[in-house]
Amino acid sequence: MAGMRIAITGSTGLIGTALTRSLRADGHEVVRLVRRPARADDEVEWDPKRQYVDAAGLVGCAAVVHLAGAGVGDHRWTDAYKKEIRDSRVLGTAALAEALASLDAPPEVLLCGTAIGYYGDTGDRPVDEDAPPGDGFLAGVCVEWEEAAAPAEEAGIRTVFARTGLVVAREGGAWGRLFPLFRAGLGGRLGSGRQYWSFIALHDHIAALRHLLESPGPAGPVNLTAPEPVTNREVTAAMAEVLHRPALLPVPAVALRVALGEFSEDVLGSQRVLPRRLLDSGFRFAFPTVAGAIAAARR
């Protein structure tokens, strides 16, 4: 896909910024969807809440990467914010899928970033893409989120759901909050520490997105997680070792529930998710271990 025109929603987020930089470095033309009138040649206006997309701006795109959505951990989960989490994903995906389906020459691929929240709490049971959806708010959102892309699938666009785990990066996301705590010597396991965290290094996440875009590979769900999920206790030990800081202060589950409200159940929950379809498609991880992913992020 050398020199292709690729549209991205959520281009200013952690993943979107890194992907845009990577694609442009390799000579691709990146078009960014923005929630205001376009002011530059590389911008296209859209409004997920109004389900509006300037479809004319997407003409000639070989691929579209959809990464936009309200941050799951940015606010307490009030009823209003839960509606924001859902609507930003479901309405935005539906609007984009319908706009792409309306084009005379639609893109070859829609890569829709979703989440391993689809599986709910799996305990210590490993799951891959064949597993059914779990229970709970996030699992329900993920089901609706992926179903909203149906117009693109029906139009013959290869539609991939990149079910993303916890991205190991200093710049943002859940791990972006862990790094300063551990550097200050305030890191510790969360709750029991026995819950599984399915992680992926930022480098590998971007490489996996590029792999899914540029290969004739799979459609449907693809888990973007490292091949060996680890427990929160193991994450804590690896952070302490790599950053050369003690990890002596466990955070009790009750404190997390007070501080985070309903979102605490996602932090304390366990998801042991395996990237079977990604590995089967020939992808190879540069940082398959949590220690390697942490070391890469601190460079």
CB 198 within 8 A of CB 225: yes
Choose between 15 and 260: higher pLDDT.
Answer: 15
The pLDDT of residue 152 is 97
Mean per-residue pLDDT, 137-162: 96
pTM for this entry: 0.91
Q: What is the arithmetic mean of pLDDT over 198-202?
A: 96
The pLDDT of residue 257: 52
Residue 18 to residue 128: CA distance in whole angstroms: 26
User: Would you list the DSSP string of 192-235?
Assistant: TS-SEE-EEEHHHHHHHHHHHHHSS---EEEEES-SS-EEHHHH
Closest CA to 89 of 160, 6, 163, 146: 146
CA dihedral sign of residues 97, 98, 103, 105: positive
**pLDDT band (50, 70, 90) for residue 133:** very high
The residue-averaged pLDDT of 257-267 equals: 51
Q: Residue 162 — pLDDT band, cuts 50, 70, 90?
A: very high
* Pairwise pLDDT comparison (148 vs 241), residue with the higher score: 148
- What local confidence, expressed as pLDDT, does residue 205 receive? 98
Domains of the chain: residue spans and CATH? 5-297 (3.40.50.720)
